[in-house]
Amino acid sequence: MPSVSTGHALDLEKFLKSLKGQPLEASVNSLISLLKRRQIKGSEPCAIATAHILLQVVARSKWHDVDSLLINVSRTGRKLVDAQPNELVIGNIVRRVLGLIRDEASEDRGDTADESASEAPTPTDIVPPTSISQQWTTKRFESANTAAPPVRPPIVSSYSSINPPKSLFHLLSTSPPANGDVSPFKTSGASTPTWRGNSGQIHALRSEVIDGIEEIKDEISQVDDQIAASAEVQIHPGDLVLVHQPSTTVERFILRAAQKRKFTVLIAMAPPRRHSAENQHATFRKKLSAAGITVVNVMNGGLMAYMSRVNKVIIGARAIVATGGVVADAGSAAIARAAKEQGTAVVVLSGVYKLSPESPFDESSLIEWGDSSTFVSFADGPMVCGAEIRTALTELIPPELVDTYITNLGTHSRDHLSSLISDHYKREDADFHIWEEALS
């Protein structure tokens, strides 16, 4: 499907070019419709587009303090997530940017923290932070039920008092640093500062956040390279490696290994569809044979027959959910299961930006349904009106079938994912899209 993907790349490019000339609102709306029409799709293009549009929001929207900036970013973010809820990366990037803003803002705040601490309330006034957030969320849901206008209630008070309960000591810790005795484990500085900044501070914050978003963009562009760096460790000479509908990440990974090692690649493909069957992954195959790698195409679903000889299955993820489940191209789960059955290692490649802090509360909502015209066309008259034909483009690989996750930060086991998540996202941002869900 190379032709298709270049088409999408064009759409993304066109969109990125259009950013400069357009007013912000128009850019957001055009991205929303591009996402809805699936003209920008796939995790990497979606992530890049999201990062770009959020950069525009930071640079061009009106905001006079941190809270209004947070509101702007999360409001745009929620629109994008709503436009394409299947693409978890959009939410991930929005969360990253929100976390970035909080970090920069709390750095700027610096000393002011102590002042606010000194006027801490007397113990009787101390309300546990969790209960505030609790009341607050339930209130939000209630208001959602009564179809309140979709205006965010001021997040200021609640955010600034949320101190994400992380350590077990949270139960006993001092909630606001009252009367001077601060728990050593209190995660201070995580709350939103309350300063109404002067223009200088705002300017500094703006440029810092923009730098941060640029870094995120760089990270996204380098992911494939960094993942490929661990290829030589994973693939050994003489291995029989099975890949399923290789994404660019997987292609780069295999090609990097091909520079030093001699091994065999099995490419499992989607069952031949009308028209475009012969073209699949042709360039990838050419490059591999140029490197002296034996390539075998497997066209049918009978992968179990090969599995006993395969050493490694490599799957490119579209997204990884918090439990370790992997959203990947349809067909991968069957391969992973077959591999598990035979004791073959299943390796998932994914950039950290694809790792979502969301739990798969509802698996079916993660699956993307595609268009069935590749299987049935209007030439098959009776089929068109007589049968319902569905084709899933993605599916969720259960976490127990995956052995190793390779990200741009290295190789991880399933249990390690949670610490990656807490490193990259702030707890208070984890649910930003759900508020929207409740409101709509």
Partner 1 sequence: MSASEAAVAQPVSTELPLRTQPNDSTFDIVATYRDLLASDPDLTKPVAAIESLIALLNTVPSTTVYETLDTVKTHSDLLKASVENPLPLQAGTDLFLQYLVASLKQQDGSFDAVRQHLLRNGRLFATRAIAARNGIAEAGWRFVREGKCVLTHGASRSVTGLLERAAKNSEGKFRVVYVRDEVRAEESDRVVKELRSKGIPVAEIPEAAVAHVMGLLRQVHMVFTGAEAVTQNGGIISRIGTYQIAKLAAQAKIPFYVAAETHKFVRKFPLDQRDIGYKQEVLDFSATEPSKQPKDAVDYTPPELISNLVTENGVHLPGYVFEQLLDIYGSLNG
Region from 178-186, 191-199, 309-317, 347-355 binding partner 1, contact rule CB under 8 A? 178-186
Region from 7-15, 44-52, 88-96, 161-169 binding partner 1, contact rule CB under 8 A? 161-169
Asked whether position 188 contacts partner 1 by CB under 8 A, the answer is no
Q: Toward partner 1, which CB reaches closer, 273 or 424?
A: 424
Closest contact distance (angstroms) between CB of 418 and partner 1 is 6
Q: How many CB atoms lie within 10 A of CB 415?
A: 8
Q: Toward partner 1, which CB reaches closer, 178 or 393?
A: 178
55 Cβ partners below 8 Å, 6+ apart? 210, 213, 214, 217
Asked whether position 184 contacts partner 1 by CB under 8 A, the answer is yes
Asked whether position 131 contacts partner 1 by CB under 8 A, the answer is yes
Which x/- pattern over 311-350 shows residues binding partner 1 (rule: CB under 8 A)?
-----------xxx--------------------------
Closest contact distance (angstroms) between CB of 174 and partner 1 is 6
Closest contact distance (angstroms) between CB of 30 and partner 1 is 32
Region from 64-72, 110-118, 164-172, 262-270 binding partner 1, contact rule CB under 8 A? 164-172
Query: Tokens representing 261?
Result: 């090692």
In the block, which residue shows the tokens 């091994």?
263
Q: Toward partner 1, which CB reaches closer, 172 or 379?
A: 172
49/31 Cα distance (integer angstroms): 8
Residues 401-430 within binding reach of partner 1 (CB under 8 A): 414-415, 417-419, 427, 430
Query: Tokens representing 3?
Result: 């032709």
Closest contact distance (angstroms) between CB of 323 and partner 1 is 6
Closest contact distance (angstroms) between CB of 190 and partner 1 is 14
Asked whether position 171 contacts partner 1 by CB under 8 A, the answer is yes
Residues 101-130 within binding reach of partner 1 (CB under 8 A): 123, 126, 128, 130
Residue numbers of the site for partner 1 (CB under 8 A)? 123, 126, 128, 130-131, 134, 137-138, 141, 164-175, 178-185, 322-324, 359, 361-362, 414-415, 417-419, 427, 430, 434
